[in-house]
Amino acid sequence: MEGARTLRWLAVLAALAGLAACGPAPAMLGDAEAFDPGWVLQVDLELDPADWDALRLQARDLWSVFCNPGPPENPFTEFEADATIDGVRLERVTVRKKGFFGSIDPDKPSLKIAFNALIPGQRYLGLRRMTLNNCNQDPSFVHQCLGYWLFDRAGVPAPRCNFALVRVNGQPLGLYAHVESIQTELVARYFEDAGGDLWEGALSDFQPAWAGTFQKKSNEESPDRSELDEVVLAAAAPDDALLAALEPLVDLDRFYDFWVMEVLTAHWDGYGSNHNNFYLYHDPRGGRLHFLPWGIDAILFAQPGALRSVFADGILAHRLYLLPESRRVYLDRLEEKLATVWDVETILAELARMESHIAPLASFENPAVHADIEGVRRFVEGVPAAIRAELDSGPVAWDRPLGPPPCFELVGDVELTFSTTWGTLGTVDFFEAGTGTFRATVRGEEWLGTTVGAAAGWNQNPPPGQPPRPQLILLAVFPGAAGDRLAAAVFEFGQPELLAPGQAVPLDLAAGVCYVTELDPATWQALEPFIAVEGDLVFEQAGTVDGAAVRGAVSADLRDPKL
């Protein structure tokens, strides 16, 4: 394995050296050079191997995010390291993992590097921090850089972005998106006064039950939240008073730009669609809030069945779309950005530049990267027709009510035991491959397995560009009023090293994920999956060599993952 990874890194370096577009390293003149769109940074980190293992295995506690009235806790520890970036050595930096859930990865974690945490004033090309995103949800690798470029074209304050090759202690992690951290330096490029409050929105909104989750990211010494509380009150105003209440508090003209660009780029995990992944800046000059995009790795593809011309789950988008006067402004702004920002030829030229620049590097992680970029190209080409097709007969109706804050409902619990051997998954019938016990209580109904089978091995269909991960699957037959029924427990593990004798694997969506579901016996399709949380899987014996015994037990709560 070590030899294979080293060979891959040497091949990546060879490809990088052969890219004529890269040219010489940019001169060290300032932070603009750190985001030179024609340059791939080479980032080397050196830290204690035990610290690296601790860092990459850290994960979020599900309940620090969901069912939480306050900002999500940061579970990630800073570790001391030395960094070398394009040959420039910076000693005693700190590095930590970053990410919410979709981007969490123990093998290729997203990273934040702070250059000045231990040595005040230390910078790299003027930067205090570096944000490296793993593109875990983007096999094309281009979503973030292309997306932020599009927001900036639309006049929306947005981070700069290019790419970096990263390795830790000499081992390659691969290609990352290097995204500008949202800090004072970014704010100063767009606003005359950069001393206002910055807030991060992560599952946050201007509804009373959601507003406490906004996290202050500047001027933290001041607990004042009045600039948010005032918007919460204004957003609840009657229709005939809504605009007058909001206009002194939120720059609505810029909000329409931000909102429209979320829709055009299909940012399904943003403010308009999921109350998520955005920043706010309170400008002291005008006294109003401005929206900035963040976390846009899952964009530029159409969700099946989703509307293309509007997102209106966030309360500001919701109220403004339902009000005829402001809906007209939104639709006019949508047409304006389609005609100006969404110039297909210009966007495709930028996409082609990125593809020629990074595909030789990305292909070592994802051999299908050209096909994935082609999917982005088709999306870009199809946006105008898809949106205008919806609007031909007038504005689409938005009939979804404002939802409650996210909280996975507790529906029961599960207790399992299993005994099987590694390498049986996909090769041997479950009921021949192993056995166990299966008991679950789901919404007051007991599922007690009368026949239980188990198999373990590598998952059969990993996501594009990702290696197979260890899986363990239990099947159970249990009696029902109309005859026998079928249930399954499906486990996936963050890394092979977790399968070891005596290992307790937390069911935290990063180290270990477990879904329990009833199956349609005719199609084997999941009828209603529940997630097992707040529990552990403990291995008595385990290994990932064919024929290795895999035995253990599980006890956990079950929650409904639908929000």
3-state secondary structure 329-341: HHHHHHHHHHHCC
- Residues in the chain, overall count: 563
Q: What is the pLDDT of residues 7-53, one digit of tens each?
A: 333 344 444 444 333 434 444 446 778 999 999 999 999 999 999 99
pLDDT of 531 higher than 60: yes
CB 455 within 8 A of CB 473: yes
Q: Which residues pair with 435 in a beta bridge?
A: 419
Judge contact between 539 and 500, C-beta under 8 A: yes
Q: Give the C-alpha separation, 330 to 310, whole Å.
A: 9
Per-residue confidence (pLDDT) for residue 117, from 0 to 100: 95
Residues 256 and 330: beta-carbon distance below 8 Å:
yes
Say how far apart CA 481 and CA 477 lie, in whole Å: 13
Q: How much of the chain is helix, strand and coil, in % rounded to 5? A: 30, 30, 40
3-class secondary structure, 254: helix
> Could you tell me the two tokens for 106?
């123990």
147-156: average pLDDT: 98
**What integer pLDDT is reported at residue 391 of this predicted model?**
95
Average pLDDT over residues 292-311: 94
Whether the Cβ atoms of residue 272 and residue 314 lie closer than 8 Å to each other: yes
Give the integer Cα–Cα distance in Å for 311 and 322. Answer: 12
**Mean pLDDT, to the nearest integer, of 136-150?**
96
Per residue in 59-70, pLDDT tens?
776 665 666 677
| Beta strand pairing call for 161-168 and 40-46 | parallel
Q: How far is CA 285 from the centre of its chain?
A: 33
Name which of 62-66, 454-458, 489-493, 533-537 the model is least confident about. 62-66
| pLDDT tens digits along 332-371 | 999 999 999 999 999 999 999 999 999 999 998 999 999 9
Lowest-confidence region among 4-13, 94-103, 126-135, 172-181 = 4-13
Looking at the DSSP bridge assignments, the partners of residue 44 are 84, 167
Task: Reply yes or no on whether the pLDDT at 181 is more than 90.
Answer: yes
DSSP codes of every residue in 464-524:
TT----EEEEEEEEEEETTEEEEEEEEEEES-GGG-STT-EEE-SSSSEEEEEEEE-TTT-
Beta strands in 86-170 (DSSP E): 88-98, 110-114, 129-133, 161-168
Q: Given a cut of 50, is residue 127 above it in pLDDT? A: yes
Phi, psi of 438 (to 5 degrees): -145, 110
Q: For residues 486 and 20, what is the distance between their CA atoms, to the nearest angstrom? A: 58
Q: pLDDT value at position 61?
A: 66
**Mean pLDDT calculated for residue range 162-181:** 97
Rg (the chain; Cα; Å): 25
Cα dihedral 532, 536, 538, 544 in deg (nearest 10): 60
Helices (H), 196-343: 226-235, 239-246, 252-264, 271-274, 315-322, 324-339
pLDDT value for 28: 41
Q: What is the pTM of this model?
A: 0.78
Backbone angles phi, psi at 171, to 5 degrees: -100, 130
User: Concatenated DSSP letters for 158-190?
Assistant: ---EEEEEEEETTEEEEEEEEE---SHHHHHHH
Predicted confidence (pLDDT) per residue in 442-453, tens digit: 999 999 999 999
Residue 551 has what pLDDT?
A: 97
Q: Which residues make Cβ contacts (< 8 Å) with residue 11, sequence separation at least 6? A: 364
Q: What is the pLDDT of residue 406?
A: 75
Between 224 and 461, name the one with better pLDDT: 224
Whether the Cβ atoms of residue 539 and residue 552 lie closer than 8 Å to each other: yes
Quote the CA–CA distance of 138 and 264 in Å, as a whole number: 18
**Planar angle of CA 498, 500, 506, nearest 5 degrees:** 40
- Side-chain-side CA neighbours of 392 within 13 Å: the count stands at 6
474-492 pLDDT tens trace: 999 999 888 899 999 999 8
Q: How confident is the model at residue 510 (pLDDT cuts 50, 70, 90)?
A: low
Candidates 154, 160, 142; CA nearest to 264 is 154
pLDDT at 15: 43
Give just the sign of the alpha carbon dihedral 216, 222, 223, 224.
negative
Q: Higher pLDDT residue, 409 or 351?
A: 351
What is the share, in percent, of the chain residues with pLDDT greater than 90?
75
User: What was the pLDDT predicted at 345?
Assistant: 98
Tell me if 251 sits within 8 A of 290, measured CB to CB.
yes
Residue 405 has pLDDT above 60, yes or no: yes
pLDDT of the residue at 495:
81
Place of tokens 């900035």: 292
pLDDT at site 563: 57
Q: What is the mean pLDDT of residues 80-105?
A: 90
Q: Using pLDDT thresholds of 50, 70 and 90, give the confidence band for residue 440.
A: very high
Q: What is the pLDDT of residue 173?
A: 96
Query: Which single residue is written with the structure tokens 């988008």?
Result: 317
Please determine, for residue 83, whether its predicted confidence score (pLDDT) is greater than 60: yes
pLDDT at 187: 96
Better-predicted residue by pLDDT, 123 or 536: 123
pLDDT tens readout for residues 217-232: 999 999 999 999 999 9
What pLDDT, on a 0 to 100 scale, did the predictor assign at position 72?
Answer: 75
Which amino acid appears at position 94 of this protein? Answer: T
